[in-house]
Amino acid sequence: MDPRRVLLCLLSVLGCTLADNPVVKTPYGMVQGIYVENVSVFYGIPFAKPPVGRLRWNAPETADAWGSEVYNATFQRPSCPQVHCDILSPPLVCPPQTSEDCLYLDIFTPRAPSPNVAEEYPVMVFIHGGNFVRMSGTSPLYDGRKLAGTRDVILVNINYRIGALGFLVTGETVSDARGNYGVLDQQFAMKWVKDNIGYFGGDPSKITLFGESAGAQSTLIHYTLPSSAPYFSRAIVESSPISIPYKRYPEAILLGAFLAELLGCTPRDMNCLRSKSSTEIANAQYQTRSKIASLKIMELFEPWGPFVDGDLIQAEPLVLIQQGEFNKKPLIIGTVAEETVQYIFSAWNSSVSMLKYEEVVFATYPSHVFEILNMYSPLENTTDERNTMVKMSTDLVFVCPTRNATRNIRSHGVKDVWLYVWDHAFSFPGWGHVTYCEGRVCHGSELVYLFHTEWAGGFKFTADEEVLSSQIMDFWANFAKRGNPNSFGATRQKSSAVEALNWPAYSSESSWSNYRFKAPTSEIEVKYHGYNCDFWDTIGYAA
């Protein structure tokens, strides 16, 4: 019997019994969660004031305490405003409801006290992806009951402002929208976790920050932000499109002007912009997706997001990492085998001719067209070059800049860094209307195995997939506990379902090896994409 549970029941104004839902006392007041399987879940805890009214396009502020009332954390709160998520995304990632009042987090804790009574649980803080315009920490794909309940960790899923509400720039004065609010929200949530997770049985000295896609970009931003350093102890970066350039001020201003025009406002008319509903703003933001605010074609894949403001964000994370300006913390970083299938096949929904492919290469890298076409030659006996574009863009945007970042992190003194590639396609029809990802290892393929949420879609893993899921869950949880995916280094923690390989840290001593997750057998691989990535390292990642 958990003595903390008894104490909290005695303190609670509910007069609860031991059979009731979990109750936790925090500095803000009592919080009542819900038992789900073998975890305690606390849904929708506010980590900041609602970003509405005067707080729209302003930095987050500390949430108000709820005092003597018991906060009802037994149901999910709305996610941040977005439109057409279901059109653009596979199943299990879109939120059922949205609201501008969305700065909440969900906490999944093991139901029992820590097995070692002298220790608290390590904490994993997840930042969701979605191109900075959609998805949510409350998405069914990220349900934390399996990860927290079977691996003795606490999982925290956070929301943050996305799209124009999170990243609009209209100017530099106090009354202007100055962008990067979504990043500030993430940092604010991280601080909340650091300050409060101990009340939920978590260890504030063992916080692992991790995210996928835009969440991985965000994790790398915090990995390079000195102001974020106190709030996490290690990080996991899953499929960050590292070489996508961030906007500079003129580009961000131009995108903001596009948005204002679509809303019937003049640029910088904040009264007009603030008079619009969050739904109107989300719809206008969606319409700006085809507008490029510069000649950088890769902006098409991420029109909204962080921009280099010279204050919070000094440069793209890869630039800062190359300069050695990052938080020297243990890191797991990696990609999936076919990262850009979804982007290429959605942007070009019919066959791409050789001539069109060459035009795209020219628009992306005009100074290195012939070298790139030689490295990624058009296919023979085909009228569709989209798979060639997938190979080229996966290397350019994901794989090779990830390797470059990993080598630079290592060269600047961080020995505890591990590189991986996920190379397994679903055995089940999990992509829904995103049919071109069936049978392929698309962006985000690892997530359903990491969170073990195939059940949420009514699917079932094969025996090999159960092993694969156990591998990634074990590695991530071991890293959160001890800063090493192999647990105690030479001694490894293994689940009953998996005999994991020893995963060597990335270094010249290990022949620059990475872990390749695949079924039926994962493997240690040496110099993944070495020739291709040597090529991109030579010509650089800025067109």
Which residues have a Cβ under 8 Å from the Cβ of 475 and sit 6 or more positions away?
A: 332, 485, 486, 500, 503, 515
Question: What are the tokens at 239?
Answer: 């499929």
* Backbone torsions φ then ψ of 291, nearest 5 degrees: -95, 125
How many other CB atoms are there within 10 angstroms of residue 145's CB atom? Answer: 19
* Backbone torsions φ then ψ of 463, nearest 5 degrees: -60, -40
List beta partners, residue 202: 121
> Where are the alpha helices (H) located in 197-302, listed in sequence order?
214-224, 249-262, 270-275, 278-287
Q: Do residues 163 and 132 make contact, with C-beta atoms less than 8 angstroms apart?
A: yes
Element (H, E) at 481: helix 463-482
Q: Do residues 158 and 47 make contact, with C-beta atoms less than 8 angstroms apart?
A: yes
Question: What are the tokens at 360?
Answer: 């795209």
Please identify every residue annotated as catalytic.
213, 339, 443
End-to-end C-alpha distance for the chain, whole angstroms: 61
Q: How wide is the angle at C-alpha 184 spanned by C-alphas 181 and 188, nearest 5°?
A: 135
Alpha-carbon distance of 151 to 467, in angstroms, equals 15
- Pairing type for strands 202-212 and 234-238 reads parallel
Alpha-carbon distance of 204 to 227, in angstroms, equals 17
Instruction: Establish whether the linkage from the previous residue to 122 is cis, with ω within 30° of 0.
Output: no
Alpha carbons within 13 A on the beta-carbon side of 350: 1
Using the structure block, give the residue that is written with the tokens 């502020």: 61
Alpha-carbon distance of 214 to 351, in angstroms, equals 28
List beta partners, residue 108: 41, 155
Among the listed residues 355, 364, 436, 442, the one whose alpha carbon sits nearest the alpha carbon of residue 396: 364
